[in-house]
């Protein structure tokens, strides 16, 4: 398949790029790694009249991880850079664990975290990771910049809180809280496939071992990534023993609303959410440091 005709523009600066996007709105699309946009264009599922290529721009590929662990990831940071970054490996272990589950090495060489999040594929792993980590996303336009909590960013199927003139310029991950641990797990038919169900868990414990906070987030669990507040609350204020794990798993099964596919019925996906919740929470607890 070949895409419908389109114009391809290479802006001279970020300001120029934002001005073009402000002028053309939804008729123009940002081109980052192209790993979702170009297949969609080739299949004629997307027919943008204009592509504004971010790749020639400098200053969008910044990846910094501070001593405390706060990570800032620019719009052109590829998955591969995240996989290879020592700071991410040391401080942002949940993201480091999740990224190799995304697609295949060739796709991770080009694809970007920001492109993934802006695309908002409900089956993707990374929106769930952003929810579990409490990420903030920086939107930029000629009107200025604003920060959006991950919780408010993923609005619906392939729909985010970004306005037509905005660029997702960066993602900021907070430092992991003290005495916390995380785990990412998914079940996919083959390595590199989208998950039938994906779970990202972050657990915080008090010195006496009781749970002080829990964040559980799910991919391929509805029109957009979602948390399971009742399951989280079932863990808080108690030691996480088998009974707590079983209770949280049962509540997680009720919290997800998976679409089903040729590979898995909604009932099977719900079952996976329960099983993965149990395993991810137990693993996160074991990793608390
Ligand atoms: C065979 C295959 C398997 C895959 N498997 C998986 C998988 O298992 N899990 C998974 O999560 N993904 C998977 N993907 C998708 C891949 O992760 C994409 O790279 C990612 O979804 C999009 O990132 P990108 O940089 O390539 O964005 P692009 O394809 O360039 O853009 C995607 C969309 O986001 C917009 N956009 C891009 N950057 C920005 C920005 N900074 N601000 C605002 N809008 C922006 C574009 O205009 C476009 O609408 C797979 C892709 C392929 C081809």
Distance of alpha carbon 217 from alpha carbon 214, whole angstroms: 10
Distance of alpha carbon 123 from alpha carbon 65, whole angstroms: 27
**Which residue has the least CA distance to atom 33 on ligand 1?**
119
The average pLDDT across 156-185 equals 97
Cα of 27 to ligand 1 centre, how many Å? 18
**Which residue has the least CA distance to atom 39 on ligand 1?**
115
**Which residue has the least CA distance to atom 11 on ligand 1?**
124
Tell me the sheet residues that pair with 219. Answer: 198
| Residue ranges covered by each domain of the chain | 7-52, 63-173, 180-286
The conformation of residue 260, written as its DSSP 8-state character, comes to -
Q: Return the number of other C-beta atoms located less than 10 Å from residue 206's C-beta.
A: 12
pTM of the model: 0.97
pLDDT digits (tens, 9 = 90+) for 262-278: 999 999 999 999 999 99
pLDDT digits (tens, 9 = 90+) for 44-82: 999 999 999 999 999 999 999 999 999 999 999 999 999
List all residues whose CB is within 6 A of at least one atom of ligand 1. Answer: 29-37, 39, 75, 102-103, 107, 111-112, 114-116, 118-119, 121, 124-126, 162, 167-168, 193-194
Reply yes or no on domain 180-286 having CATH 3.40.50.300: no
User: Radius of gyration of the chain from Cα atoms?
Assistant: 19
Torsion sign, CA atoms 61, 36, 264, 218: positive
Q: Does residue 244 have a pLDDT over 90? A: yes
The CATH class given to the 7-52 domain equals alpha beta
Could you tell me which residues come within 8 angstroms of residue 210 by beta carbon, excluding any fewer than 6 positions away? 237, 238, 239
CATH hierarchy code of domain 63-173 = 3.30.465.10
**Which residue has the least CA distance to atom 19 on ligand 1?**
111
H/E segment holding residue 184: strand 180-187
Q: Does residue 1 have a pLDDT over 80? A: no
């Amino acid at each position: 398949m070949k895409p419908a005709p389109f114009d391809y523009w290479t802006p001279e600066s970020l300001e120029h790029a934002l001005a073009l996007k402000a002028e053309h709105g939804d008729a123009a699309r940002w081109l980052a790694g192209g790993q979702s946009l170009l297949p969609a264009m080739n299949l004629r599922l997307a027919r943008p009249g204009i592509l504004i290529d971010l790749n020639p721009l400098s200053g969008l590929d910044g990846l910094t991880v501070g001593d405390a662990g706060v990570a800032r990831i620019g719009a052109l940071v590829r998955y591969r850079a995240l996989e290879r970054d020592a700071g991410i490996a040391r401080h942002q272990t949940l993201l480091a664990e999740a990224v190799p589950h995304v697609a295949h090495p060739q796709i991770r060489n080009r694809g970007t975290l920001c492109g993934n999040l802006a695309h908002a594929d409900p089956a993707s792993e990374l929106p769930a990771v952003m929810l579990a980590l409490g990420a903030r996303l920086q939107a930029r336009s000629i009107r200025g910049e604003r920060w959006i909590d991950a919780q408010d960013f993923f609005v619906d199927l392939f729909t985010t809180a970004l306005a037509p003139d905005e660029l997702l310029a960066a993602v900021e991950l907070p430092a992991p809280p003290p005495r916390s641990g995380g785990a990412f797990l998914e079940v996919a038919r083959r390595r590199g496939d989208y998950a039938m169900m994906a779970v990202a868990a972050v657990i915080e414990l008090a010195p006496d071992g009781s749970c002080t906070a829990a964040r559980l987030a799910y991919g391929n669990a509805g029109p957009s990534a979602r948390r399971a507040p009742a399951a989280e609350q079932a863990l808080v204020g108690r030691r996480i023993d088998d009974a707590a794990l079983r209770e949280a798993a049962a509540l997680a099964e009720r919290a997800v609303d998976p679409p089903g596919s040729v590979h898995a019925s909604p009932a099977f996906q719900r079952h996976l959410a329960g099983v993965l919740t149990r395993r991810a929470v137990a693993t996160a607890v074991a990793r608390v440091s």
